[in-house]
Chains A and B, each alone.
Chain A
Amino acid sequence: MELRSNIPAGPIDKKWDKHRFDIKLVNPANKRKYSVIVVGSGLAGASASATMAELGYNVKCFCYQDSPRRAHSIAAQGGINAAKNYQNDGDSIHRLFYDTIKGGDFRSREENVYRLAQVSVDIIDQCAAQGVPFAREYGGLLANRSFGGAQVSRTFYARGQTGQQLLLGAYQALERQIGLGTVAMHERHEMLELVVIDGRARGIVVRDMVTGKIESHVADAVILATGGYGNVFYLATYAKGCNATAIWRAYKKGAAFANPCFTQIHPTCIPVTGDHQSKLTLMSESLRNDGRIWVPLAKGDRRAPDQIPEAERDYYLERKYPSYGNLAPRDIASRSAKMVCDEGRGVGETGLGVYLDFADAIKRLGEDAIRERYGNLFEMYERITDENPYKVPMRIYPASHYTMGGLWVDYNLMSTIPGLHVAGEANFSDHGANRLGASALMQGLADGYFILPYTIGNFLAQNKIDKIDTSHPAVKEAEQAVADRIKTFLAIKGKRTVDSFHRQLGQIMWEYCGMARNDAGLRKALQLIPALREEFWSNVVVLGENESFNQSLEKAGRVADFLELGELMCLDALERKESCGGHFREESQTSEGEALRDDANYAYVAAWEYAGEKKTPILNKEPLTFENVALAQRSYK
């Protein structure tokens, strides 16, 4: 497989401008002759659908939720970064670019990240014009806050519901187009197969989740904006329905999967309470602006937090990283929490937790100021834990939150299958080995509003695309494969529920491919996962029939794919013997326990190519070159 990144020539700050001038345009009158399928209606999918429809393309958008407004972008709390420099504190496009590259531990593509920083400023303008109710200063100007991994204040926010408000902005733009008849919206439809004809992505097979009907849709280009795969860990901050099926089906049809082991474990989530736990809830990273993270100095100190005197507390992030303190990047904050818990200094019943304490901030600013900033987060915490964080410190622990890995894409966001484009968290492009806070919303909207609408046009204008319909043999074949797979699930009639398999897979992944990984553990996981998969295919029970609303059947398909993806993640983690960002190989650390990169051997994107059932996938490498930043050992000290 050849990985052509199609990076335009020229200096980095001119590449996107040059590319936009060089790319082919589709004449306005011709745009309506082209059709585009968008799978997913989160920030990337909704913004791409709305924008392409505004341009005149025929758009079909699909989502598994009952409404496009419910995609999991909605749950992002803290904010969205943009290099506006409204605060006059030294921000610039170059600084946002640099922070993102460094935050990603030098494992992302410079050119993509630079473009992201460039369009970040347009996103804020667009969203403000749509009526997104961003936080404002008394003078009416947009307000900013700081976020992890940055020393400037560049994060725009709408209380603790920034993702919700940005998504509703994109959703409203999408609904406007639906009302105008330019987008056909298919809710409660799940993509189960990609249709590839003559080497090009030409359509999808979906299941109507209400009636069970298997339908096909064809188009001139397909965009996957289906989010990340962090639910492979079962317990995660993702919505329960988030899944990897769309990108996994595409992988099995020839799209390379890049850096699958790059997953983000978010440091500030509410700890697990019991075996019934179905998901983990994030507490926004913005809390780290005012909350101080600590554990007792002594091992096994079970005293109530207010009984532990100042001198017997270890504010370990402030101690280890004095210049960034509690705002150290996510991977570092998570790993540090794991380390203190492994030392036996964790708090709460399970010992898997650390304190996030607002006592000092309340003393300094008053309870009202804290309520104004974080009121809804404090309420959410109290609802879940029955504890009042204004009085006692929050308890937090890391949880699976984001996946930097995803389908490999070139500069145009096109995968290795021509015509198949990938946007948002589903692609791998911008965050390297670790994503900074408030950058996911930025990337989703950059891809959907400002990048894909250009690059899709270039693809359509350059390629002569034959007209086909759903009677094409390749479409029928894909439909048959979907129907057969569903029949198989229903016919197994085993003794274990789908969820029980998913939980067990999650435990394996968390144990061996979570916050710390090592050779022996990964090899063990690579034996456990195929064995679990085999049991799944012979002992899972899925009741009911295809021809009805059947939530067990939906889950079965998703878990079957996670059982394959989990193995690829472990394989990738085993192959990458360096530590970088969220990928911490215990064999590769500094004397102080920090991640130790190996740029000589691992400065590449690992793009895995499907080789067939029961065959080891093929590793392709896209070398990463850094011409505009100096490769450096990341330091937040």
Chain B
Amino acid sequence: MAGLVVIGMAVFAFWQGADLPIGTLGGMGPGMLPRSLAVLLGLLGALLLVGAMFEAGVPLEPLSIRGPVLVLGAVVAFGLTVRPYGLIVAGPLAILISAFASEEVRWAETIVLGAIMTAFCIGLFKFALGLPIPLAPWLIGY
């Protein structure tokens, strides 16, 4: 399984780098290293695949869906909202979304935490450290 994924990555990298000039050994072009690394990666992946066929495979740990989707969703939501709406929106939003990644989520607790954390981060990053992170541009202009 890991072998297949590795080969897949190698093929993808090779395809993406296929139109780069290789140059010569004395004056290597930009494409030489990516392409030789992709070939190497593909070979190693094949080796892993062949090796895996001959021994009893360890069963894969199941991939969960809920955790990754919500946690990554929270990160993306933060990225989407931080510029236009500022930390005042992005902070609680990220906390709210990610909190649901855990099965023990509790509403009230999460909302309180979101509020406290956002206030704390504003105090720390904006005022104590003076980072240029937007607070609430739609409300107070910065």
| Interaction A to B | no
